[in-house]
Every structure is written in C-alpha cells, then in structure tokens.
Structure 1
C-alpha cells in the first residue's frame, strides 16, 4: 500500500503507544501519516530494503534517507543511534547525523558497530541545542530507549498482521468473505469476530474491518507480550484505554505497556523537546511513519523516534506443515498448507521460497511458490514434472532476510493416492419467507420486539425454502447459533419438489444458552450447503411492574441483567450494570407519565423491546 507523506490518515495501529505531555494532547492512536524513510541494508554482497530485513548484524552497512516534501518548511536533523543494552551507554561515535535539507549531507551511510543490540532513528528539529539534548538523553538513559525500541518493533509486527488480515478481506468479493476470513484469521493469528459471518454477504466485509472484536493473538514467532486490541481501521472509532474492558483490567497487560511507554518518553519531556514514537509501516522500499500526536515546531519541539530491527542473531520462522494428506504435485495451484509463523504471511521477510523435490535420477529441482494467507500456505506456481521421486519428501525452503532456512517437509502422493474423486454437489436452498409466533403465555407486562429479524427465545419460527433442483427424501435443515457448538437439525415438509417448510422453536431446540445471529444450511446425507443468515435470537427479561412518584420511577421484574439500558421516551437512558442481580431498576422521575418503556437488549447491539404502559 502506498504511503504519501503527510497526506491522509491510514489504518489505526493495533497498539496505542502513548507519549503524554502536559502541553500537548495526544490521541494514543497512530492515525497521522508522517514522513517516510528509505532504508537499505547491505549484508555481505546482498543489499535489501528494510521491509525484507528482520534483524541487523554487526558489520551490516545501513543507508538511511528521509523523504520530505520539496516545500518542507522546517529543517530536520536525522540521527541514527546504536544502543548496546539497558545498562551500557553507547559511545558518542555510535550516533551519526545527517542534515536532511542539504543534498550532499542528507543521507546516513554507516556500519552497524560490534556490540550493538538496538538501533533508533531520530528526526530532530534543527534548532540550537536540540541535537545535544537528544544525544544526552540517549546516553544518560539508554534503558528507556532500549525498551522503546523493543515495544515499537513489536507493535509494528502486530500491526502488520492485522493490516494483512484487513487487506485480505478487502481483496475478495463479498460472496467469498465467509469462506476466506476464517483461514485469513488462522494464517495471521487474528481472533475473528464470527458474528460478522452471520450477516448478509454485502455487509460482512464492513463488519469484519470495523469490528472492535478483532484481536491480534500472541504467537511463538513474535512473542507478543499480550493480546493487542485492534481499533476500527476506517473510522478511527476505538481507543484501547477508553474501552470498558480496558478499564476493568481485561487488557491490563497491554495497557501496562502503554503506560510504560508514556513514562519512558515522558521522562525526557522538557521545555525544549518532546519525544514522539513513530510506528513503522513497510511498503517495498519505503518505511512509512505513523504518528500518534501532531508534531510541534514550537517549544517543546517534537522529536520523532523510529525503531529499526534489532541487532541480533536471526530468529527463523517456526513453520510447520499443516497437510493432513500427501501432496498431489500434478495439480495446478496446489497449496502447501503451513502454520505456526504468521509473519510469513504478514511481512516480506521470507524470500525466494520454493519447494525442493528429488527427481528419480537423483537430481534436485526447485519449484517456486507464492504465499497466500487466504489459502493458508504457499501456492505452487506450476505443476511438478512427471519424474519426481514420490518416495522422498518435498522440503519448503528459502531465505529469511539474509539467512537461508529450511521449512517443513511434505509427503508426496503417488499416482494412486492422487486419483481425483468427484465430490457430490452441495445441496443449495434459499430463504423464501418466515413468520414468528410467540408460544409462551404473556407476562404481566408483555414485551414487543422491534425489528422483523428478531425472534424471542420463547417463540416458534416457521420458514420456507426454495431449491433450484429438487428436495430429496430425508433432506433436513441445520440451524446453528453464534456459538457453533449449539446446533439442531429440523425435518422438512414439502410443498412440492422445489419448496419446503420447516418449523422450530430455537430457544428450546438450541437450549437456554443460545442467543445472537442464527444461520441455516440444507443438509443431505453427509453433504451440506453453505451457511446463510436466518434471524437473530434474543432473550427477554420478565417485567412485573412499573411505578412512579415525585422522586423516581421504578421498573421491577426478573432476569433484568438481559437489559443493556432503559428509556422512557426521552433522550436520556438508564444503563444496567454488567452482572446485575437485582429485581428493580430505578429511573429518573418523569414530568409526564411515560406511555412505554424501551429496553435495549444485551444479545444484539440493535435489539430493542417495548413495553406499553397502562395508567
């Protein structure tokens, strides 16, 4: 994805690394596009852009330039600083500077010194004393910048995985979202909001890319210290520190990192300088910078802090084979399924990947492969030749940055094992119409659901289906709740060969724990059709009374914890706390007696129930 300098807001970062200052309010979200760097690394005789370099090594030659607009008004000094651990200040000659506004002095070209462990780039306003203050900060408190380097690098890798997931969703037609999104989530170790898959196909992508339930999971490769809550990538809707879950400590490990970084950078705020972390976004040869605060060119002036990859031994991806059967190499578009290393799907670190095979004459052959997160592995560019020795496994191998590595091996199927057997066609049916009937006796204060797509747990649903072929004897319709462990199969009554009717009481068939979006599919023997949305199942409280006096109004009943908030007709609504166990809810006194109660239900964000009041 292209990143124009100072142009537009991009996807919100998965991490909210906050640099606080008494003078400057910051959002905590990396939603401001800063300048971009062009960084290349030469290792031996090979030069790569930073996007393909997972780690630096002593002796590597680094070349760093910054892309600033031609009309850039403020002059920036660029400083490359190497660190050697939290307790060992770096020597002064480990800090190299460039004057970015002077063509002949705008580039840093230096070698990673022996003993270095971290590398940071600073963009410093060209004012008297600023560069000296930065140098002093780095040498006086190296541990703070070591920690900042580690956390910024981790946030960059986590965000790359989330961005790859969102990009994969947006690349596919809406009719395939339900099919590809679970595999994308598995490949990239992202927790999927499965409720989105129960919606209509044309809104599934928007739900997945804006859901506050997207979570980047910890994995063995990136060693994420906690789950990272991902903000809404388009409307910048979510801030981790503002979520109720965060306030109650559910995401407290990650919030701890946010607070640590605030303290790290806050320690160096002064009347002269303010340090701002910049999150890297790799795009080919460019390293875009995302900021979480508007840079200031007045005192305290902002210093942008960018983390480069760690100076360390390469950490090779722990790729594992996910194949459950021998590979049939004669098939075009064959997928080599892998798991265990989401960064192979989210970054450009893996290079020249190929499947190495042994031929019957003993010679080796490499078949190029391309990664595809939506397919869960590497895809062969072409079929294998006929003289492959199927007794020898094929080995996935390539380069991880500059380092060669061998991945997992795959068993190769022989001619008999690879004989294609035609699968039976999947039965398909579409929803024609549906009707809902309440079967439980009404309570003291009956509730009416608002919305044609809602069904109460004490109701019966009758719906009809149409197929383009013919219904077969024994066909059933399978119904599932949001919790996929809760399913039921319902027999069909045929109107004719193409139209059938089914009746079910979801609350009874699926059990008292079922709620949320329901979906259905046609089932014929062992063959099943595609899941399709049906209705949304909601649980209702029982209201027993409503009274008002001069001080307050009170609604009473049971199972009131199923209510999210209550309104009496005006704009003001009364929230019901999580885990509420009481039998009464106090509401503000009303100047005019209300004629109805509006209940927002917990089982669906848009579900409302109305109770008509009699006076």
Structure 2
C-alpha cells in the first residue's frame, strides 16, 4: 500500500501540473526549507512568557510580535497579524495589524487579543503597493479557509516539533555515543510518538542514523490513542482527487496524513486569491524560546506573483494540559539513582517548552511536604528526578504528585507510586528460624520492596552468597536461601537498598529439621502408600503388617508439608483394614513409629465385554485385528463392572492413553455412558473423536466418583491401519497396493512369521512387494502393535494378475 501511495502522490503531482496552472503545484511535502523567523512574547496578568512556552492565547493577552530578519535583508516584508472569529464570520478590519519590518519605528506590533477572537495567523508578504488591502480583502472574503489553515498548520507545527526533537536526538547520540543509537532511538520514538523503522536497526551502525531520519513523511504518529501519521501539506491538488486520496488508508483514513483537507483548502486558496501580485504559501511555525522558526515547503517568490507566507499562531482559548498518565503499574524507589518516571502518550511534554516548572510534590508520612524538581527527557522516556531525591533519608512517602505549569496555567497530576522505606523495617515472617540442609524459603515484610537492590546470605564462615528474590507486595519480598550445605547456627541476611551505603542485617537461626511423621495411608490392593509429615527426605523405608515399603517420590503440599510415596512389590490385597503402628527407618539408621491407616480397596472397574464396529470400506481388502485392537475411526462399545463400590448417575469412566497425553470422561449426561443396575456400565467411544488424531497405542480406563478415583485398568489398543486396495501377483511375486503402507512393519505368508519380510523404515511408497498369499491370506505386524498379528484377507480372485 505504501507503493500505491507513492504512485498516487506522483499522479497527484502530475495532475496538478496538467489541471492547475497555479504555482502552488510546485509545493513539496517536507517543509524542510528554512524561512524567516518571528519573535514573540505574551504578557498575561503581569506575567510575560516567550512564545515557545505558550500553548494558547487568551482574550486580553498582550502580544509583542516582530520579524527577526538579518541585517542585510534585501526584500522588504510586510508583517500582518490577523485575528479570526470563525469560518462563517469575517473578521472586522480593525482586527488586522501591519508592521513594516524594514522600518525600525514600525517593525514591532504590540497588540491585545480582542474579545471574540478564536484564531490568529501571521502573514508575511513582500512589500508592494496596495498589498495590505489585498491581504485584508482575501482574508475577509474567505475566512473559513484561513480558520482551517490556522488550525491545521498549528497542529502540523506541533508535529514538526516532535519530528525535529527525534531527528536532533538521533544526530546527537550518533555523534556522542553511536553504540547507544538503538536503545536511544527506540526510547525517543516511544516518547515522541514517532514511527520507528525497525529495519534500520538491523543495519550496520554507520548506516542506522541516516536510515532512521530519512523518508520523514509519515513518521509522526497521532497521539491520544490514534495510529495515523502526518504527511505534510500537499498543495495544488484538485478537490475531487484530494477527496479520493483522503478516502484511502494511506491518504488520511489510516496510517498516513490526516491533513489532506488542509491541502485541499490551500489549493482553493491559491486558485481563488492568486493575483498578479501575490500567491499564498503555507509555513509551519516551530516555537523555541522567543522565536518562531518558519519552515516552508516551497521556495518563496519575490517576483510577481510574490509569495505570502501564512504562519499559524497558538489558538485562542483555554489550554488544558495534555491528559498526562503515569506509565507505572508497580511502585518504584525514589532513592534509585537516575530514577525516570515514565509518562504515557505525552509527546508535547518532550517536544515543546509548554510544560515548565515541573516538580514532584511528596506528601511524607511525617506530615512534611517536599517538592523535587523533575526534567522531561525524551531520550529516557519520562521525567528524570534529580539527585536531591536521595537526601530524604528514610522518610516514608504517602503520596507523590506531579505539579507544574502548562503555559500560564498551573496543573496537578498524575500521581506516581513511589517508595522510600527504611531498611531497618524488614522483619522475617513468621519467625527468624530457618531449616538448614535444603533450600529454605524466606519472607521479609515491613520495608519498601521497590528500594531493595540486592539480597545476600552470610554464613558462619563469613562467606557471602547472592540470594534470588522477588517482590511479593509493596512491603514484602520473598527469597530462597541456599542452605543445602549450611550447618545449624546463626545466619545473616544482608538486604541492600538504593541510596544506603550499608545493607540492613537480619540474623536468622539455622536449625536442622527432624522428620515429623503425621500418618501413613494405604488402600488394600495398592502397591503404593502415602506418608505425610515434614522433612520426609530422611525416610528410607516403612514396615507395616509384615510388608516393607521403600521410599519413592517426594512432593510438597501447598501448606508446606511433605508427601512421600512408599512402594512395595508384595500383595496388599489381604492386609487387614484398620489402624496400627508402622515402623519407619530413617536414612541415618534411626527408627521411629507412625500411625498407619489401612483402608478398603479403591473402587475399580473390571472389563466384562467389548465389541468394535468399524466403518465399511468396500474398496479395501479386509484386515482382521486381534480382539484387543481397534482402528482410530472404529467405535468401541464396552461394558465394565464396578468392584468395591456401587454406581450412580454422577459417576464417570475416564479413558486415557498410556502416556496420559489425551483423555476423555464418559458420563451419563453426555450420552456416552449407561448404567445397567448398580454395578455395571456400558460405554462407547470413537478414539479419533474422543482422544484426537494423535491417540494411538494402549488405552486404559478407571472409575471416577467425585474426588475418589480408581486404579487404571487396560481397555484396548488403538492401531492405525494401512489402506490396502488390491494385491497383484505375477507368478510367485506379488505387489500390495494402497496408502499409508509405511504403517506396516513386517509381512509374512504364515501367522508364525518364520520368514518375515521387513518394510524399511521411512518407506512412503504406494506399492510394496510381498510374498504370495497362502490359503487366501497374508499376515502383517504394524508399528503401532508390533506384537500383534493382523490378518490380511485376500478373497478368491482378489489377487489380480499383473498386467
């Protein structure tokens, strides 16, 4: 689409040359020609500000305006200040003020903004007889054009200021620290709302800066949530063509210019008001201190028709500051060196001097109010807090609010989440005791988490080790102490804070934790029981009812306790139920006792019967599978009897693959399960539908009754089958035809596989040489079931004679 825009712009320029005789067609889009400058100051209620700090004018403001021309200026310029009051209301003649820039006595305009004025523009015209009256007539004749020009040129001037700030920042870092160009340009683009060309960052360092600052049309993004960008004013277009271009995404409805209407208005302006003496040319006015630098997009003409420069002044009316928002979710530490408070969607704070006297007002917990100066820094993406922030000591911050002035008006907001807590406030929770011999969790509360720079552990030998930590809350940090090799005794945790020379020291008591045994549970018939307690990593084995269980997998409960699996190879079905004492042997040889609970066996399912219904495949040779196997697309119907329990409508039968990679729960509500009496259920499923296309191999089932689950029992084996379409023989040599023959591992002419023919791994052909069938059959072994024998039935006459 960008190429389409370029072609449209080329066509636009061509059409303007053909269709319009106006000199405006020579205008460009970049506004990169330096024009003359204006100097201006605004006084309001005895306060005078340079124009670079004034975002808007107000009725009654005193304006001091003059042209800032070089001493050897040859062409005489007439400076005209015009106030406008709306598109349909021509301004009175006494709202026009002229200055003769070549005459020191008449070069300065000192004017008050009149009641009812809404916009102001400055016109600079080469002096010619009757020029002033011609300008007055032009503005009064079509005020709407100049109202629109004032609005859009002012907005374009602000966007130009953002672009120049970006370009100057890139140039500055390229000269001083080219290795920082990537992070700085990225930060500048984010602060100023500039569309960053990511491809430039992948180029060599010598080419990055020039790449980032070329093709400036369309670099300035809309702010306030918009995503469109600014293309500079296009002069000399026909109205119909301008409307057509504005309807495209690139021409104004999306990524590019929202100012195509400005080009249309200027085209009308040029066409209507061009005279033998004057033609009109737009100018951007970029404010800096007392100067307004005019940027032109076409060279001015000093021959008839002479160019009249049209430059915007700030709008007239209330100037609310931009909706400043703090781009912070979590608290940050005020004492952190070089602290930057990020702002969201506030490019004019960085690109202009409208925001001034910025301070961070801190309401401290001790009742004091402190104001710290802050500076807007586009390269760092926010407000930089000065070094005075580290002089507050341990004072806790109650509230931190940005204050300042936007032009003449003061503003308050936004608020920033800041911390500045005392290091000594940290306390271990729930107490100061930790267990040595393994990694130990530690929670500290009471301080300012954002101000913690690092955490370390000092053991009894004086060795200091870094500790991993994270903030759990504004006043809480969680750490993991490396105590695997630590011995009992005092330990010291060192918590370093920003702005503090010495870390806070917290003494902990390191203790060995003995195993705490709470109970052992075993379901009769199970091979695995569960021991619950603490420090169960010391347990080696357990004996109960004459059976020995050995330690297996250890896990941790959410509450902090241990769970240890203990397994045996013995038969536990005859172990009497009830409670008794079990003997526990620890790894160091010590023994202790624990209460053991033997419960009745878990509910389980016994397979009663099953049947397989495979979809018809009339164009394939039949494959006879073993009773336990089924194809993925076949429907398995099975019945199972519940043992050690009674069935109810809320019970489920869960079917899963051997690796638990896929599972399905069959219920009465889903229609996949029916109860026959209180102990038998009939269920059905199609593996491909219930478990997915990747489900192959053994299937297992178990009964689920609420939170109680039974043991897994074997159910069936899912086997992917090749599609065998025919068998062709020429004497003793036969060829099998079909699809997915790679699923076959071996082929033989008898079920014992005395002389099998192996299919090469990776075989993907549609024809496979096989032995001649015997008694109308061949026998296959498949990769999904290498131990099963699948019979390929070859009906009489099906072994076709090869042609």
Cross-structure match for 1:22: 22
Larger displacement relative to structure 2 (28-37 or 247-256):
247-256
| In 2, Cα distance between equivalents of 1:80 and 1:213 | 30
| In 1, Cα distance between equivalents of 2:130 and 2:184 | 54
| In 1, Cα distance between equivalents of 2:399 and 2:277 | 63
Distance 1:402-1:213 versus aligned 2 partners, 3 A rule:
closer
Q: CA RMSD in A?
A: 2.8
Cross-structure match for 1:249: 248
| In 1, Cα distance between equivalents of 2:232 and 2:100 | 37
Q: Do residues 70 (structure 1) and 71 (structure 2) align?
A: yes
Contact 1:77 1:97 in 2 (8 A): yes
Q: What does 1:60-209 align with in structure 2 at a 5 Å threshold?
A: 60-172=61-173, 173-209=177-213
DSSP 3-state at the match of 1:393: strand
Contact 1:227 1:251 in 2 (8 A): no
Report deviation, 1:130. 0.9
Contact 2:58 2:317 in 1 (8 A): yes
Q: Do residues 421 (structure 1) and 454 (structure 2) align?
A: yes
Cross-structure match for 1:400: 406
2:315 to 294, 306, 310: 310
Q: What does 1:255-404 align with in structure 2 at a 5 Å threshold?
A: 255-384=260-389, 385-386=391-392, 389-404=395-410
Q: Residue by residue, what CA displacement relative to the aligned partner does 1:309-361 show, whole Å, maximum 9, x if unpaired?
A: 00011121111111232121122321111112111011110000010012344
Distance 1:213-1:260 versus aligned 2 partners, 3 A rule:
closer
Report deviation, 1:201. 2.6
Report deviation, 1:128. 1.4
Report deviation, 1:265. 3.6
| In 2, Cα distance between equivalents of 1:51 and 1:367 | 24
List alignment gaps of at least 5 residues for structure 2.
Answer: 1-12, 234-240, 423-446, 457-465, 467-803
Q: Residue by residue, what CA displacement relative to the aligned partner does 1:270-312 show, whole Å, maximum 9, x if unpaired?
A: 2221111111122322111111222222221221111100001
| In 2, Cα distance between equivalents of 1:148 and 1:179 | 37
Q: Residue by residue, what CA displacement relative to the aligned partner does 1:398-417 show, whole Å, maximum 9, x if unpaired?
A: 00000101121112222431
Q: Residue by residue, what CA displacement relative to the aligned partner does 1:453-505 show, whole Å, maximum 9, x if unpaired?
A: xxxxxxxxxxxxxxxxxxxxxxxxxxxxxxxxxxxxxxxxxxxxxxxxxxxxx
Distance 1:212-1:276 versus aligned 2 partners, 3 A rule:
closer
Contact 1:360 1:388 in 2 (8 A): no
| In 1, Cα distance between equivalents of 2:21 and 2:74 | 24
Report deviation, 1:256. 4.1
Q: Residue by residue, what CA displacement relative to the aligned partner does 1:147-192 show, whole Å, maximum 9, x if unpaired?
A: 0101100110111111111222222222111222222111111121
| In 1, Cα distance between equivalents of 2:217 and 2:115 | 44
Report deviation, 1:100. 1.2
Contact 1:122 1:305 in 2 (8 A): yes
Larger displacement relative to structure 2 (156-165 or 288-297):
288-297
Contact 1:217 1:228 in 2 (8 A): yes
What TM-score, normalized by structure 1, do the two folds share?
Answer: 0.60
| In 2, Cα distance between equivalents of 1:74 and 1:390 | 64
Report deviation, 1:38. 0.3
Cross-structure match for 1:236: none
Distance 1:247-1:109 versus aligned 2 partners, 3 A rule:
closer
| In 2, Cα distance between equivalents of 1:73 and 1:298 | 13
Cross-structure match for 1:569: none
The alignment of Structure 1 onto Structure 2 pairs a total of residues equal to 394
List alignment gaps of at least 5 residues for structure 1.
Answer: 1-15, 232-241, 425-615
Cross-structure match for 1:602: none
Cross-structure match for 1:58: 59
Q: Do residues 228 (structure 1) and 261 (structure 2) align?
A: no
Q: Residue by residue, what CA displacement relative to the aligned partner does 1:361-382 show, whole Å, maximum 9, x if unpaired?
A: 4231110011111211000112
Structure showing greater Rg: 2
Q: Say which structure, 1 or 2, has more relative contact order (CA 8 Å, 6+ apart).
A: 1
Contact 1:98 1:108 in 2 (8 A): yes
Cross-structure match for 1:47: 48
Contact 1:332 1:383 in 2 (8 A): no
DSSP 3-state at the match of 1:205: helix
Report deviation, 1:251. 2.1
Contact 1:392 1:411 in 2 (8 A): no
Cross-structure match for 1:483: none
Contact 2:288 2:353 in 1 (8 A): no
Contact 1:323 1:337 in 2 (8 A): yes
DSSP 3-state at the match of 1:37: strand
Distance 1:422-1:192 versus aligned 2 partners, 3 A rule:
farther
| In 2, Cα distance between equivalents of 1:248 and 1:422 | 59
Q: Do residues 218 (structure 1) and 222 (structure 2) align?
A: yes
| In 2, Cα distance between equivalents of 1:297 and 1:207 | 36
